[in-house]
Amino acid sequence: SWCIWPAWMPPLATGIAQSRHALAVLTGQPPAALDATLATAAPLPQPRATLALAADIGTAAEARALLDKAVAAVKANPAGALAQFAKGEGGFKDRDLYPFCGGPDGNFTAHPSLTGKSMKDLKDKADQPLGSKFYDQAKEGSVSEVAYMWPRPGSTDPVKKVSLVTKVGDQVCAVGYYQ
């Protein structure tokens, strides 16, 4: 006899296989050892300490949501919004996510540590032009991505970061997330 599989079975099987692989990577165990651990119902080894940082890192979707919130705030009250961005107040600081903006003069109008400094002349940690890319990519009503190398908070080692960039009136605003 033969069996008809429900439509959800192949994606479920794929998801289980991907989860098994991810769990093996996270625990540092080969899949066979992981299978033995799961079969005995013993507690799994704790993931490496560096993986605990994942909860402290914002996602692309969270960065986009924060950018949308920032755009609405700038449209409603530009001066008030920029002040909140610079201070990380009003819900505009979420772990490593924060909005930043630059004005028509090319200087940061809002940033946790760079307010008043040149945004247009900013370079990433690979010495590549960065601020000018923000200004070039920013368009009113649309969001662009600018990728660059930047250290995570508390680190000096540069990693890939992507900023979602848009223009709101005379402001170039963005929110960046680490990949």
Token pair for residue 9?
């079975």
DSSP 83-94: HHHHHT-TT--B
pLDDT computed for residue 179 by the predictor = 92
pLDDT computed for residue 34 by the predictor = 66
| Cβ atoms within 10 Å of 45's Cβ, excluding its own | 13
Task: Report pLDDT digits (tens) over 59-108.
Answer: 999 999 999 999 999 999 999 999 999 999 999 999 999 999 999 999 99
For a pLDDT cut of 90, what percent of the chain falls above it?
65
pLDDT computed for residue 27 by the predictor = 72
pLDDT computed for residue 48 by the predictor = 43
Average pLDDT of the segment spanning 17-45 = 66
Average pLDDT of the segment spanning 112-124 = 96
Contact 67, 173 (CB under 8 A): yes
∠ Cα 99 145 152 (to 5°): 55
Q: What is the maximal distance between C-alpha atoms in the chain?
A: 75
Average pLDDT of the segment spanning 162-173 = 98
Task: Report pLDDT digits (tens) over 124-134.
Answer: 999 999 999 99
pLDDT computed for residue 170 by the predictor = 97
Beta strand 99-102 with 108-110 is: antiparallel
Name the more confident of 146 and 53. 146
pLDDT computed for residue 56 by the predictor = 82
Name the one residue in this structure whose structure tokens are 């066979």.
Answer: 32
Burial of 69 (0-12, 13-18, 19+ CB in 10 A): middle
pLDDT computed for residue 40 by the predictor = 65
CA atoms within 13 A on the CB side of 28: 7
